[in-house]
Structure 1
Amino acid sequence: MEFPTNIQVNINVSSLSGVEAKEISVHSGITTLLGPNGSGKTQLMRALKQAISPHSSAKKVRYISAGRLGPLETYRSNYDGQRGGRIRFDDAQYGNKMSLNYRHENETVLGDFGTLSERPDILIKIQERLKKLFKRNIFIEWDGGHLRVNFTRVDSDTNNYSSSREASGLLHLTAILAAIYDDEVGAVLIDEPEVSLHPQLQSFLLQEIKKVAGNPEEDGKKLVVLSTHSTEFVELNSVDELASIVFCNDVFTAPIQIDPQLPEFRSRKIQALLSRIGQEHKLALFCHSPLLVEGPSDQIMCSSISRKMSLNTEAAGSQILPVTGKGQFPVVIKLMRLIGKNPVMMGDADALTDNLDIISSFTSLPQANSIASEMGHRDAPTFSRNVYNDFSNLVDSNWSDIEPFASLHSYWVHRDLERDEIIAKRRAAFCWLMGAEQPQLNDVTNSQDWSSIKTRLLMLLGMLEKLGCFILRLGTIESYYQYSDQLTADEKPNAASHEATSILSMETSAIENSYGDIVRAIRYASNAEEINEAEAIREIVLAITTPALAMISPSTTEAELKSSSRNMFGAKSDLFNLSTKIENNEIYLVVELNTNILEVEGFPLEIRKGDNPIDEVNRRLNLT
C-alpha cells in the first residue's frame, strides 16, 4: 500500500527566524507525534491539517483539539466561580442547524456530535459499541433549533440524562469514534486522544483507529495523525512502525523521523529488539535522555534515590529504563541515538572489565576524542584500549598480589565455576581497586603498579562519565547496599525494595556518600537544576528589606513597616512580617516568612542596620 511521502509543512514559530519549513513523511495509515510539552507537536499538527489535504483523496480533513470538551464546560462546571450548586447540566446543547455546515472544520466535540445528527449509520455504529461495552445508549435530537445529546443506562431502569452529566471519558470516546468512522473524512488529526481515557479505553480506541487507518483512496480508509503522551497509542513491533513515529524535541529544531531503508534498521538485533519492546521501552520514546540500567534492581534503586533527592528525573526529560542484561546495552544505545535520543548508561563493573564492546558505544562519540585530548591522550578509543589491556595483563599476571582482598567481593564469591576464572578475577580486582584506600594499596606486592593502574582507571572512568557512561565502581547495584545483604544472589528485587525503603529515611549527604556513583548517573541523565525556593524568593526579600533597612529607627513600628512595604510592593509584601529589635545598642530588621507553602530555611532573618543586605540574605539563605 502506497502512502504520500515528504509532505512539507510550514510552521509559524515565535522566533527571530520566523516561518520554518519542516518535513514529515507518511509511511503508513497512522503517523504519531511524540515529544515533551512545549516541543511544538500541536503547531506541527495544525500545519499538517493544511499540508495533508492534497493527499486525502478530495475528502475532508478533520482536526480534533486537545480541549475538545471546552464548549461543554459552561454546562458541566462552576466556570465563573458564581454558579454555586446551580450547574446548568440540563441546558447543554451542541450548536444549531447553521453550525452543521462547519462540522468538519469545528475542532471540538460540537463538530462530531453534529456528524451524529446527520449520519444515522455512524450513530448506529457507535450506539452498538456503547450498549455492548459500556451499558449506555446515546440519543441525538433537535430541540428548538438546538442540538441536544442525551444518554441512558441500558442495565437499569433510568430516565434519559443530559450528556453533560456523563463521564468525560465517554464523551471524548464518542466524539473521536464519530470522527474516525466518518467516511467523508480522508484525514483525521487528533491531539492527545488519551484525554480522560483510562488505559483500557485508550487501547480500545487505538484498535478502532487501526481498523480505519489506511490509504484514503480506499473505501472507509483515512490517514490518521496522533499527537500523544500515552504509550497506549504507540505500537512498536517493526522498523516500519518506528518510521511512522515523529519525534519532536522543541519548536526550534526539526522533528526527527527515521528512514526505514537505512541499513542500521535492517540489522537482526534491531529487529529483534523492536519485536520485544514492552511498556518500559515505549516510555523511553517520550524522553530526551533515557537512563539505561541493567535490570529491575537498578531501576528500583535509581527511582528511590531520584525521589529522595528531588532530582526530578522524569520531569527533566529522562526515564529510567532497564534493558535486562548488559549484552543489550549496545543495541539499545544504537537504537536510541538513531531516533534522536541522548542515552545515558549506568552499568555494572563488568561492562568495563569483560571487554570494550559496551564502552566503545561512548568512546566512538564525536566529542570523545576532544575530551580525551584535554586529558592528554591522543584519542578516546586508544586511551581506553591501552588502560584496559594494561589492567587485564596486570590482573592476569599478578592476581596473587591482591587475592586475599579481591576474593572477598561478590564477583568472586558468586563466580560461575564452570566459566573462565580470568573474567571473575578481573571483575573482583577492579572493584577492590576502586574501594581500596592508598595505605591498603601500599601493603600489596607490586603496589606501585596497582596504584598506577588505579589512577589510570579513574581517569578513564572520568572521561566515560563526561560522555554519559557510568560504571558502578563497586561492582553491581547490590555492592552499594547499606541495609540489605550485599552478597544476595536470590530475590534481588525484594532486596532492592528493602534498600530503597531505607533510603527514604537517610540524609541527602549520606546518600551522596554511600551511593555516589548512582547519584552522578541520575544527575547527568536528568540534567536539571535543583529546585531551590530560596533562590526564587531572594530577589523579593532583597527588594523589601533594602528600603526597610534604610527607614528603620528605634521608634519605627511594625505598622509603619507594613504600610511602607505594602505601598511599594503590593500583595507581595504580605509574604513577610517586618519588625525591629534592639540588641547591644544596634538596631536590627527582623524578617519573618508569612507562609507555610514555601520551603525556605533561614527565617526569621535578622539584618543589622548598616550591614550589606545582599551578603546577609545570601548567608542566611545558604546562597552564594
Structure 2
Amino acid sequence: MSDDPAIHVASTAAVAAPASDVAIPLEVIAGKPGGTVTIRPGITTLVGPNGSGKTRALRSIQRALRSRGEEAAHVRFLPAGRTGPVERYRAATDSPGVGSNQGEAFYGDISYRSQWHEIESVVGDVINLDQRSDLRIKVETRLQQLFGRGIDFQWSQRGLAMSFTAMSGMARYHSGLEASGITQLVSLLAAIYDDTIRTLIVDEPEISLHPQLQAFILEEMEMVAGDWADPGKKRILISTHSPSFLPLRSLADLPGIVFFGGDIDCRQIDPADGLLLSSKLGDFVARISLSHRQALFAERILLVEGPSDEIVAARTARLLGLKIEARNTQILPALGKGEFREARKLFTEIGMRVTVLADLDALADDNRLVNDFSGADGAIAIANAIGHPSLIDLDSKLRSELAGLITANAVAIDGVVGSYPYWSDKQDPDVKRRRCTLAQLLTDPSAFTGVLGREMTALATRYGVLLHGLEQLGCFFLRRGAIENYYADTSSGAGKPARASTEADRLAALTPVQLSAEYPELVRALRCASPGRNIDESVLLRARLAAALGAIFQSMEPGSTDEQIEAMAISVLPAIKGLFNFHNATNATNANEPAVRVELRSKIFNLTGFPLTVARKNNLNDAVGQIQPA
C-alpha cells in the first residue's frame, strides 16, 4: 500500500491487483467523496452523459497523480478546450466582425519552451514539436499518409508559428487556415508519442475528428499504452462521448472502462469478478460493432456475410496494420447474399466504393451477384481482356460445364466431396454436391483423379480467371466455402460468434505472411477495401539524412570534429537537430576520402540500419536505403 492516504494500490479479497494498478478516491466536489477509479496499465476510459462528473474526475486524478513523487513530473493533461488559445486566430473572437489575420496563428512566447508540458493546450504540444525532431517525424509521417500534409515551424517576435504544406500542390498556408481537426490531430499525436509523458490524460479526444479518424487515434493510443514504468509505454486516461473511443473488443477490456451516471458516482468492473467468466457475455461483447452506426460516414464499405466474418475480418485488418478506419473504410456485416446486393446498390448509389466478401454459395447457387458486378464500371474492359464479351458470359459457360461434369460423374464426385466440411447434411443433396464440388475444385482439384481430374483441373484454371476478374471489381468469394472452413478448430459445438472470437484470438499469433496464406481471399478483400500505403517513418528519416549528409560532404575536411560535422548539417537542415549523432569516420590510411558514421539518437523509432557509415564516394540514396522499418 502507498503511504498516501488518498491513493492506494487496488486489491480484492479474491485476487491481489497488480502493483501497477492505482485506485484513486475521487473528489469531484470539494469535501464530497465521488467514488473510486482504478487506473490500470493501458487505457482507462471514462464514459457517461454530460454533467456526470467525468471531467471533474479527470482533474481529481490529475491532482492525485501529481502528488506521487516520480510520477508527478510525467503527467500531461489535455482538456476539451485545448485549442482555445489559437481559436482567436481562426474566428472573430476578439471583436465582432473582425476575423483572423490571414490565418497566421502564434503558439506562445519562446520563454515557454522549458515549460511546454505545463501548458494544457495545443500550444504546449506545438512548442514541444518544434524542439523534438523525432516527434515531428512521427506526426508528419501520419499527416502525409492521411491528408497529404507537411508541417513547418517559424519563430518571430509574436511567437511560434506553425504552417502546413499540401503535398499535392506544395501550397503553403498558415495553421489558422487549417481544419481544426488536423490541429487537434497534431496535438494528440505529439502527446501520444512523447516518451517523456508517462501518464496522458485527455478529455474528449474525439473533438473535431471524423469518426474513422477517431478509431485511428485509438489505435495509435493502443500502440503506446501500457505500464507507465515500462520504457516507451504510458498510462492513458480519456473521457469520451464517442463509441469510436470505447476500446471494447472482448470481456478482458471491460475493467478498463469506468461508467458515470445514475444514482451512484461511478462504476468499474473488477477483473476478478465472476461476471467476466460468462461465455454468453463474451459472445455478446464479440458481436458489438461500430460498423452499423458509422457506415454512412465512410468512403468505402467492405460487406461481409454475418457477424462471424466481421469479427475475423476486423482482427485480421488490425494484425496486418491496415488501419482501415484511418483510410475511411468500414466493415459491415450483411445477412446473406440477398442483402449483399441491396446494400451494395444503396452504398454505390450514394457514391461509396463497395467491396464484397461472400460465401461460395453466392457463386455456386446462382449468378445474381456476378451479374451485378458484371455491369460495374470497367467490367467490360476486364472481360474483353480475357477474351469474353462479359464476365456474366464466362460465368454462365463455367456454370454449365460444372453442372455437366457433376451429372456425368455424380458417384465419383460424391466419393471425393462427400466429407467436405462445408454445409450440414440437412441440406438438399444436389445443393450440397454442387457447393462442395466447386469448393473442392477451387481449393484442391488434384483430389479428383483420372479423366475427371484433368477436366476439373482445367475448369479450376478457368474459374480462377473469372474470380480474378471479379476481384479487380471488388467482388471476392471465400473459395473454401464459408468463413468457418478456414478455422483451425473444426469442432462445431460452440455458437458461431464464439467460434469466430476463438479463431480471432488464434490469429494474433500469426505473422502477416501466415495470415495471407491461411485467409488469402479475406486478406485480398481487406487490401482492396482499404487501399493506401502502410505508415513508414523511415521514408522521411532517409530523405532528411541524405540531405544532411550531402551538406556535410560539401564542407567536411578530414580533420573536422564531430561538433563541426553536426553544425554543417543543421545549418542547412535545422529539422534534423536531435535526430542523429554524427562522427568523423575518415580512415587514417585514406585521409582523402572523408566518411561519416551516423547513429540514431532518438529512441522512439523502430528501425534497422543504424549505426550507418557513409563515405563521400558513396551513392547517398543507396547508403541511406539500408534504413528500413524493423
TM-score using structure 1 length: 0.53
- Residue 544 of structure 2 corresponds to 540
Say whether 1:335 aligns with 2:378: no
Do the aligned partners of residues 404 and 323 (structure 1) sit closer, same or farther apart at CA in structure 2, a change above 3 Å counting?
A: same
Structural mapping, 1:445-460, within 5 Å: 445-460=451-466
Q: Which of these residues, 347, 361, 364, is aligned with residue 375 of structure 2?
A: 364
Query: Relative to structure 1, is the Cα distance of residues 84 and 544 closer, same or farther in structure 2, using a 3 angstrom cutoff?
Result: closer
Any conservation in 2 of the 1:533–1:599 contact (CA below 8 Å)?
no
Say which of 458, 466, 478 aligns to 2:472: 466
Between the aligned partners of 1:494 and 1:442, the Cα distance in structure 2 is 34
Q: Whole-Å Cα distance in 2 between the matches of residues 86 and 410 of structure 1?
A: 61
Partner-residue secondary structure (3-state), 2:567? helix
2:513 alignment partner in structure 1: 509
Is the counterpart of residue 558 in structure 1 residue 562 in structure 2?
yes
State the Cα distance separating 1:390 from its structure 2 match.
Answer: 1.6
Asked if the contact 1:284–1:290 (Cα under 8 Å) also holds between the matched residues in 2, the reply is yes
Q: 1 CA distance for matches of 2:116 and 2:454?
A: 81
CA contact (8 A) 1:593 1:603 kept: yes
* Percent of pairs with identical residues: 30
Among candidates 352, 355, 358, match of residue 366 of structure 2: 355
Alignment-derived partner of residue 385 in structure 2: 374
SS at match of 2:476: strand
Report the equivalent of 1:198.
241
Aligned to 2:614: 607
2:469 is equivalent to residue 491 of structure 1: no
Report the residue type matching 1:309 in the other structure.
Answer: L
Residues of 1 paired with 2:612 and 2:410: CA distance?
Answer: 60
Distance 1:406 1:547 in 2: 68
1:286 equivalenced with 2:297 (yes/no): yes
CA RMSD of aligned residues (A): 3.6
- Which of 507, 524, 548 matches 1:520? 524
**Structure 2: distance between partners of 1:513 and 1:86:** 49
Give the aligned residue type for 1:423: V
Residue 430 of structure 1, aligned match among 432, 438, 441: 438
Aligned length: 367
Alignment equivalent of 1:594, drawn from 584, 598, 601: 601
* Contact 1:349 1:471 (8 Å CA) reproduced: yes
CA distance in 1, matches of 2:421, 2:588: 63
1:470 aligns to what SS in structure 2?
Answer: strand
Secondary structure of 2:369's counterpart equals: coil
Q: Mark the CA change 1:621 to 1:436 in structure 2 (over 3 Å): closer, same or farther.
A: same
Please give the alpha-carbon distance, in whole angstroms, between the structure 2 residues aligned to 1:390 and 1:531: 46
Change (3 A) 1:336 1:608: same
State the distance in 2 between where 1:545 and 1:69 align. Answer: 38
Deviation digits for residues 399-420 of structure 1 (CA, Å, limit 9, x no counterpart): 4334344233212xx4243x42
For the residues of structure 2 that align with 1:611 and 1:527, how far apart are their CA atoms? 36
Deviation at 1:291, TM superposition (A): 0.4
Q: Distance in 1 between matches of 2:608 and 2:497?
A: 37
Which of 570, 575, 589 matches 2:574? 570
* AA in 2 matched with 1:465: E
5+ residue gaps in structure 1?
A: 1-65, 88-166, 173-195, 201-277
How far apart are 1:168 and its partner, in Å?
9.2
Q: Give 1:582 deviation, angstroms.
A: 6.4
Aligned residue type for 1:333:
R
Q: Distance in 1 between matches of 2:438 and 2:615?
A: 56
Q: Which secondary structure does the structure 2 equivalent of 1:358 belong to?
A: helix
Alignment of 1:380-459 (within 5 A): 380-411=391-422, 414-417=423-426, 419-436=427-444, 440=446, 443-459=449-465
- The TM-score, its normalising length taken from structure 2, stands at 0.52
Name the SS of the counterpart of 2:464 in structure 1. Answer: helix
Query: C-alpha displacement at 1:382, in angstroms?
Result: 1.0
Quote the Cα distance in structure 1 between the aligned partners of 2:609 and 2:119.
47
Match of 2:534 among 518, 530, 550: 530
Q: Which amino acid aligns with 1:198?
A: H
Q: Is the Cα–Cα contact under 8 Å of residues 401 and 445 in structure 1 kept in the other structure?
A: no
CA distance in 1, matches of 2:117, 2:364: 68
One-letter code aligned to 2:532: A
Letter in 2 for 1:590: R
Q: What do residues 552-595 of structure 1 show as CA deviations (whole Å, max 9, x unaligned)?
A: 56544322221211222114242111224467967753222222
- Whether the aligned pair in 2 keeps the contact of 1:544 and 1:573 (CA below 8 Å) is no
From the superposition, tell whether residues 311 and 363 of structure 1 become closer, same or farther in structure 2 (CA, over 3 Å): same
Q: Do 2:582 and 2:596's aligned partners in 1 also have CA atoms closer than 8 Å?
A: yes
Shift of 1:71: 8.8
2: CA distance between counterparts of 1:309 and 1:403? 38
CA distance in 1, matches of 2:412, 2:553: 68
Counterpart-to-counterpart distance in 2, 1:67 and 1:168: 9
Q: Which amino acid aligns with 1:372?
A: A
The letter of the residue matching 1:602 is G
- Map 1:16-55 onto structure 2 (within 5 A): none
CA 406–416 in structure 1, closer or farther in 2 if over 3 Å, else same? closer
